[in-house]
Homo-oligomer: A and B are copies of this chain.
């Protein structure tokens, strides 16, 4: 349990003395956020190494010319991101082994956003239909209410990777096929003020039917990854429900879980 780092910084209690923090009070960006961003950058570029102590909050606030609650708010946001750890009686230090990418909803954003960015997405179907029972239940609308059904084929390097089938409440937004292929569903939703907030996913596996094999360029019986998702905006409204099928030989879900304390 010997600590091999930390003692070498003679005369300096904190690891970030030499760092220049520039806070712009005229900026519309909140001070706590400016500080958080600069701390995060210092961690990213190695100025603050894993295990380094930040120095106590009171000193920090005095040196930065901020109040302690503001400094705490900045630190807290990084703690929430998993970059820092607080220990009462000890101090705040940089987490020992950073998790590279905090891409929580990555697969979700990928699925919704990606379009023409390397992976290409072809819209196979885009129409409005009365909601079947399962879709209506998932979206929380009346059975038979008008929903948009979207079917897309996702490819990378000219190879098909996935078949994506999505349903959205029809009154949510208009989905022009050309814009959809160019912009991506996620950005079109952002553009009309819909903020994705959470999603419920079920991931399973099964073997390909003959038809799926043909469309995905796989043998019948090949292993497929399946995913069903219902996505909600920040008011808790269901805004998307879909079933996705991926070629297991070319795709895997990769994600980060965080414990909600």
Binding site for B on A (CB under 8 A): 50, 69, 80-82, 85, 95-99, 102, 104-105, 108, 140, 196-207, 221-225, 232, 234-238, 248, 251-260
Contacts and interface: CB of A to CB of B under 8 A. Distances in A.
Contacts of A199: 256-257
Nearest to A246: B205
Given A196-B259, A259-B104, A98 B205 contact: no
B204 A236 contact: no
A260 B257 CA distance: 11
Contacts of A238: 97
Contacts of A260: 80-81, 102, 104, 258
Given A99-B236, A223-B206, A257 B198 contact: yes
A254 B108 contact: no
A236 B84 CA distance: 9
Contacts of A204: 225, 248, 251-253
Candidate in A205, A225, A237 with the most chain B CB atoms within 10 angstroms: A205
A105 B257 CA distance: 6
Contact of A259 (B81, B95, B198): B198
Contacts of A98: 236
A80 B259 CA distance: 12
Nearest to A96: B236
Contact of A96 (B201, B205, B235, B252): B235
Contacts of A82: 197-198, 236
B237 A96 contact: yes
B259 A99 contact: no
Contacts of A222: 207
A254 B105 CA distance: 14
Contact of A252 (B50, B97, B202, B236): B202
Q: Which of A80, A224, A257 counts the most B-chain CB atoms under 10 A from its CB? A: A257
